[in-house]
Structure 1
C-alpha cells in the first residue's frame, strides 16, 4: 500500500480525479477524526493492491469543515460523501444531493466522528422526517415501501414516485439499520475486532472476517499457514454458493415458481448445514481469525465431498430447467438493465458489475490465501446484457467455479505436510493504516484499519452493498412497479452492509 498525502483539499480533489482518469479504480472514501481536524481518505484499487490519497480537513472560522465534492465528476463517490457527512460532519461543497444517508440527525446533534476518543454518546437525537419528493405533476404520488416489509426482508425504506405503474424516480433510505458499526470497532483488539467484522454483513460473515484479517495480518507482518489458506477458500466458496442460491430462490419466488423456490431453498439449506458441520456455525462465524483459522477446523471429509458432488449436480439440473422456463425468463429479460458504460462510470462490483461487462473480482485481480495457489479459470464469469437475467447467469457460472475451487482446495489441504492452522506468533499489528480485501458473494469487501498500541483506532468496513446499492436508483429506467421484486432480488445485496 502506498499513501499519498496532500495538504490542500483542492489538490487532494484534483489528485483523486487524475488517478481515476488514468484508469485507477475508485474503491471508497471515508474520514477519520484527527485531533481538531479530520483526515479525508480516498481508497484506490491499483494492479498491485490498494493505495490511499489523503488530506486533512480543518475547521474554518465559521465552524465548518468543507472540501470540494468529488461526486459531480466521479459518480461512485455520491453515497460515500453523504455517508461521511453523516458520520464525521465533513461537508462536500458542490455535492448534487447532500441529504442524510446513514444517520439523519436532528439540528444541533453531534456527529459520531469515527476515530475520535469519544464513545459516540454525544449523538443525542435522530430525526425521521419523510424523504424529499423529486417528481411532481398531475396524477403523481409517492408510495412508501418499507422500512418493515413482509417475510424476513431487511428493513429499508424505498420512496417510489410514480403515476401508477412506471417509476420515474426512486429514493432509497437505508438508515433504519444503522448500528454504529464504525464506533463498535474502536478500542478493540484484533481478536475481538474480527467478531465485529463478521456481523457487519451477516450473510457474508466469512468474507468480512477475511478482509479484516488480511488487514491485520499485513499490519502485523505475519504469514497464514498453507492449510489455513486453503481452508479459508473452502469456507468462502460455501458462503458464495449459499448466497447465490438465495438470489435464485427469491427470483423464482417472485415469479411464482413454487417448486423451483423450494428446491433452491433446499440446496441452500444443505450448503449451510455443511458450513455448520465444518465450523459450528451456519454462517461460518468464528472460523476465520487473524493469522489463520480456528484450531480444530478441518477440510470436508470424503462423505461431505460426495454430498457436495450430489449437490452440484442437482443445482446444475435445476438451474438448467429454470433457465429454460419461458414464463420465468420473460420476467428477467430486459429487467433492471445497467449497461456497460454505466457500470464502468459507477465502478460497480460483484455479480452486478460482472453482469454489465466489468471483470473486477479480487480472487483474480488481488488474489489472496489459497486463491494464489489454485488453478482459477482464465477470467471471472462476465456477461454483457446487464439485466436481471444476466446477473443470474453470472451467479450460476460462479457456483460452478465455487464447487471446483472447494474440491481443489480440499485436495491441496490433504497434500500438505505442514499441520499448523494459525501463525505461530500472535497478531501484533504495528501502528498505522492497513488495508485488507476479500471477494464476498456480493463483490469486493474492503477494510481500512488504523491501529494504535495494538488496538483498533479506526475501522472503515466497506461492503460491496454500500458501493452498489446506489445503482438501484437507475435500474428502473425502463421498468414498472411489478418488476421491483425481480430487480431487488437480482441485486442480492445486504442492507445491513449499506447502513453500517
Structure 2
C-alpha cells in the first residue's frame, strides 16, 4: 500500500488525485474510497483528529487491488470533480467522519438519517399533535427532507418509499417529474444503515466471517469469499484444492439464484403471472438444492478463512437434476425473451452509456450490459477459477434493461457450465486438513475480492493478533446504485420498476 503523508492533507489529496488519474489512463478502475479514524479516535469516531483516507484501485495485473492512503484533517478539496465515481464515497466520509470534501456537488446525508428536526430557528414550530386544539401560525418546511434539483412550471416531487408495497427493501427515491417524464431522481438509502463496519471491530477472524455472510443476505457466499480472501492474504494462506472447488460450486449456485430473482421481478413488473411463477419455482429449486448440499438455503457456514467447513452432502442424481434445471430455465428464458409485450417494456429502457459505465467502473451485469467487462473471476482469478474454462464474455453494448437481462441469462448458463466442471473434480471424501488450513492469529492488512451476482465485492481487513481492528466491506450494490439516477433519460414513471429490477441490487448491501 502506498502512503502519501502531509500536514494539512491538501498536498496528500492532490497526490492521491494524480495517482488515480494516472492509473485510469493506464486502464485501471476506481474501486472505492474509505476512511479510518486516527488511533486516538478509534474508540469514538466522532472525535477530533486526522483521518486516513484510502483510495482503492482495481488492476488487471498480478497485484489485483492497490491501496493508496493519505492523512486529512477536517476538510480537503473533493475528488468528485475529477473522479465522478467518488461521488457517493465522499458523502459517506462526510456522514461517518465529519470531514468535508470542499466543492462537492451535494452533501446531504446518504448513509446516516436526516435529523429528527431542522436546526432550531425562530420560525420553526412543532407540528400539531392529534387532539391538540392549537395549531402553529406558520410552518417552515425542512428543505433537506424533499430537496429539489429541477425547477419549472408544473414540476413536483414524488417521494417513493422508504416503505413500499410487498417485500421490497426500504429505500426512498425522490422522483422529480412534471407528470410522466423523470428529469431527475435522487436515491436515499439511509433507512437500511446498520453500522456493519463498526460491528466488525474487535471480532476474531472466525467470528468476522459470520458477520460478512449477513452483510448482504442475497450474496452471503460472495461476501464470505471476499472476507476470507482478505484474511488469507494477510496470513499468507493458500486454501486446499478441494476447498477451492467447493467455494466455486456454492458461489455459482448463489449467482443462479440471484439472477432468477431478478427475472421474477422483471416478469412481475410486466404483469406476466406465468413467468413469475415459473422463475419463482426455478429459484426455489436452486435454494432447496443449496440447502441439501450444505444445510443452509443461503450457503452460510461453508466458506471460512483457510478453506471450507465440509464437502457437499451427497445429493441423488445431482448432475441429472442440474441438467434438467438448466434445460427448464433456458426454455423459459427463451420464452420470456420472445414475448413482445415484455421486450417492449425493457428495450431502450434505462440506458447506461458505455462511456459512463467505464468512467464509473461499473460492476457485474450492469457493466457488462454496457460493454464494460471487468469480471474478477477472469481479471483477478481466485480459488479454482483459473483451472476452469469460462464461456465467451457477453457481447452487449446497448446498456438498457434488455441488455442487462440478456447478460443475466448468459451468466446463468455460464454458472451451470462451471458447476458441471466442478462436480467431477470434487473428491468423494476428504479429511479436515484437505478442506481447511489454520490461518493462525495474523497481524497486518489483507485485501480480498469475489465476483458476486451483483458484481465485485471487496474487503479490506486490518488485523492484530487474530482480531479485526478495521474492516471495510464494499458491495457491488453500493458502487452500482450511485449510477441509478443516470439511466432515466427519456423514461417515464411506468419504466421505473423495470429499471430497478434490471439493476438487480440489494439495498441492505448498499448500506452496510
Q: How far apart are 1:380 and its partner, in Å?
A: 3.0
Change in CA separation of 1:21 and 1:424 when aligned onto 2, cut-off 3 Å: closer
Q: How far apart are 1:14 and its partner, in Å?
A: 2.3
CA distance in structure 1 between the aligned counterparts of 2:116 and 2:189, rounded to whole angstroms:
20
Work out whether residues 359 and 382 of structure 1, in 8 Å CA contact, stay in contact via their aligned partners in 2: no
Q: How far apart are 1:174 and its partner, in Å?
A: 0.2
Structure 2 residue corresponding to 1:53, chosen from 41, 58, 68: 68
Q: How far apart are 1:99 and its partner, in Å?
A: 1.8
Change in CA separation of 1:382 and 1:451 when aligned onto 2, cut-off 3 Å: farther
> Residue 493 of structure 2 corresponds to which residue in structure 1?
481
Partner secondary structure for residue 231 of structure 1 = helix
Work out whether residues 13 and 68 of structure 1, in 8 Å CA contact, stay in contact via their aligned partners in 2: no
CA distance in structure 1 between the aligned counterparts of 2:429 and 2:387, rounded to whole angstroms:
13
Q: Deviations over 1:413-462 (max 9, x none)?
A: 138988745333244222x2210000000000000111123211111100
Work out whether residues 292 and 313 of structure 2, in 8 Å CA contact, stay in contact via their aligned partners in 1: no
Query: Does 2:14 align with 1:5?
Result: no
CA distance in structure 2 between the aligned counterparts of 1:20 and 1:6, rounded to whole angstroms:
22
Work out whether residues 134 and 169 of structure 1, in 8 Å CA contact, stay in contact via their aligned partners in 2: yes
Q: How does 1:22-421 map to 2 (within 5 A)?
A: 22-35=26-39, 36-47=49-60, 48=62, 49-58=64-73, 65-104=74-113, 106=115, 130-295=145-310, 297-298=311-312, 301-377=315-391, 379-414=392-427, 420-421=433-434
Change in CA separation of 1:458 and 1:32 when aligned onto 2, cut-off 3 Å: same
CA distance in structure 2 between the aligned counterparts of 1:272 and 1:494, rounded to whole angstroms:
18
TM-score by length of 1: 0.91
Unaligned 5+ runs, structure 1:
59-64, 109-126
Q: How far apart are 1:12 and its partner, in Å?
A: 2.2
> Residue 448 of structure 2 corresponds to which residue in structure 1?
436
Work out whether residues 173 and 187 of structure 2, in 8 Å CA contact, stay in contact via their aligned partners in 1: yes
CA distance in structure 1 between the aligned counterparts of 2:445 and 2:362, rounded to whole angstroms:
25
Q: How far apart are 1:300 and its partner, in Å?
A: 5.7
Work out whether residues 299 and 410 of structure 1, in 8 Å CA contact, stay in contact via their aligned partners in 2: no
CA distance in structure 1 between the aligned counterparts of 2:511 and 2:430, rounded to whole angstroms:
44
Partner secondary structure for residue 73 of structure 1 = coil
Partner secondary structure for residue 198 of structure 1 = helix
Shifted more, 396-405 versus 11-20: the winner is 11-20
Q: How far apart are 1:100 and its partner, in Å?
A: 1.4
Work out whether residues 294 and 313 of structure 2, in 8 Å CA contact, stay in contact via their aligned partners in 1: no
Change in CA separation of 1:165 and 1:428 when aligned onto 2, cut-off 3 Å: same
Structure 2 residue corresponding to 1:447, chosen from 459, 477, 483: 459
Q: How far apart are 1:131 and its partner, in Å?
A: 3.5
CA distance in structure 2 between the aligned counterparts of 1:346 and 1:50, rounded to whole angstroms:
16
TM-score by length of 2: 0.89
Structure 2 residue corresponding to 1:424, chosen from 412, 417, 437: 437
> Residue 115 of structure 1 corresponds to which residue in structure 2?
none
CA distance in structure 2 between the aligned counterparts of 1:417 and 1:283, rounded to whole angstroms:
23
Query: Does 2:443 align with 1:460?
Result: no
Partner secondary structure for residue 28 of structure 1 = strand
Partner secondary structure for residue 493 of structure 1 = coil
Partner secondary structure for residue 370 of structure 2 = coil
CA distance in structure 2 between the aligned counterparts of 1:434 and 1:260, rounded to whole angstroms:
44
What RMSD in Å do the two structures reach over aligned CA positions? 2.0
Aligned length: 473
Query: Does 2:483 align with 1:471?
Result: yes
Q: How far apart are 1:303 and its partner, in Å?
A: 1.6
Work out whether residues 226 and 418 of structure 1, in 8 Å CA contact, stay in contact via their aligned partners in 2: no
Change in CA separation of 1:252 and 1:421 when aligned onto 2, cut-off 3 Å: farther
CA distance in structure 2 between the aligned counterparts of 1:334 and 1:325, rounded to whole angstroms:
16
Shifted more, 182-191 versus 98-107: the winner is 98-107
CA distance in structure 2 between the aligned counterparts of 1:416 and 1:489, rounded to whole angstroms:
41
Unaligned 5+ runs, structure 2:
7-11, 40-48, 118-141
